[in-house]
């Protein structure tokens, strides 16, 4: 019972963190946000309330790259003790693999760029026997959520991009309410 509750809290917590961080990074990168917004409008179409099918979600390629780059920049489980503190952070910030590792560059996840990297250079969901069983469920869920929110809202933040950002973002849930503002819609 305790183990199950722990897994559930951790799973929700990591999903929340990725979404919060994604919206802050989109707010700090308006051009990326505009591209993601336009993709959301294109894929969802005129009727916001029409249910999205899995085929539609898989068309959210720009939003997928944004989520992947967010998890590279700020690996959601980087701080877990079971990973010796910051193993994923070190892996995802190797400048030989990810030049300018502190910068938010979703194009790193264009298919042609992914092909040039070792498949173990990016492991937000871990690998092998400890691989996350939630990945196939949570990625479509996060893409859907980002698309639906961007469809209606433009995201702003007062948080500045600086070196302290990584530290701040690990504590994101406490900062979220003070840091983000929304205005609807962009167009």
CB of 138 vs ligand HEM, minimal distance in Å: 4
Window of 26-34, 47-55, 110-118, 119-127 that interacts with ligand HEM by CB under 6 A? 119-127
> What is the distance, to the nearest Å, from the Cα of residue 103 to the centroid of all Cα atoms in its chain?
14
Question: Binding to ligand HEM by residue 70, rule CB under 6 A?
Answer: no
Question: Binding to ligand HEM by residue 125, rule CB under 6 A?
Answer: yes
Q: Is the separation of the CB atoms in 109 and 64 below 8 Å?
A: yes
Q: Rounded to an integer, what distance in angstroms lies between the CA atom of residue 181 and that of residue 5?
A: 32
Q: Rounded to an integer, what distance in angstroms lies between the CA atom of residue 184 and that of residue 149?
A: 10
CB of 152 vs ligand HEM, minimal distance in Å: 23
Q: Rounded to an integer, what distance in angstroms lies between the CA atom of residue 90 and that of residue 146?
A: 27
Taking CB atoms, the residue at the shortest distance from ligand HEM is 134
Tell which one of 105, 132, 149, 175 touches ligand HEM (CB under 6 A). Answer: 132
Q: How many CB atoms lie within 10 A of CB 46?
A: 6
CB of 8 vs ligand HEM, minimal distance in Å: 7
Q: Rounded to an integer, what distance in angstroms lies between the CA atom of residue 37 and that of residue 128?
A: 35
Question: Binding to ligand HEM by residue 57, rule CB under 6 A?
Answer: no
The candidate with the shortest Cα–Cα distance to 20, out of 124, 112, 146, 117, is: 146
Q: Rounded to an integer, what distance in angstroms lies between the CA atom of residue 126 and that of residue 122?
A: 9
Question: Binding to ligand HEM by residue 134, rule CB under 6 A?
Answer: yes
Tell which one of 48, 103, 137, 152 touches ligand HEM (CB under 6 A). Answer: 137
Instruction: Give the residue with the Cβ less far from ligand HEM, 27 or 142.
Output: 142
Each residue 75-104 as x (binds ligand HEM by CB under 6 A) or -, in order, gives -xx--x-x----------------------
The candidate with the shortest Cα–Cα distance to 72, out of 95, 42, 54, 49, is: 95
Residues lying near ligand HEM in the complex (CB under 6 A): 7, 11, 14-15, 18, 76-77, 80, 82, 124-126, 130, 132-134, 137-138
């Amino acid at each position: 019972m305790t183990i199950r509750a722990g897994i559930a809290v951790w799973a929700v917590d990591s999903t929340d963190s990725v979404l919060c961080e994604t919206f802050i990074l989109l707010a700090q990168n308006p051009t990326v946000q505009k591209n993601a917004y336009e993709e959301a409008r294109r894929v969802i179409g005129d009727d916001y309330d029409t249910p999205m099918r899995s085929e539609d979600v898989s068309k959210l390629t720009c939003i997928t790259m944004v989520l992947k780059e967010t998890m590279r920049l700020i690996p959601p489980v980087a701080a877990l003790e079971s990973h010796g503190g910051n193993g994923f952070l070190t892996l995802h910030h190797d400048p030989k693999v990810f030049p300018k590792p502190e910068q938010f560059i979703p194009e790193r996840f264009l298919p042609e760029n992914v092909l040039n990297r070792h498949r173990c250079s990016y492991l937000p969901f871990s690998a092998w026997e400890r691989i996350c069983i939630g990945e196939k469920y949570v990625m479509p869920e996060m893409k859907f959520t980002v698309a639906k929110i961007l469809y209606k809202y433009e995201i702003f933040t007062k948080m500045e991009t600086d070196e302290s950002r990584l530290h701040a973002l690990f504590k994101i849930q406490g900062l979220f309410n003070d840091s983000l503002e929304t205005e609807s819609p962009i167009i």
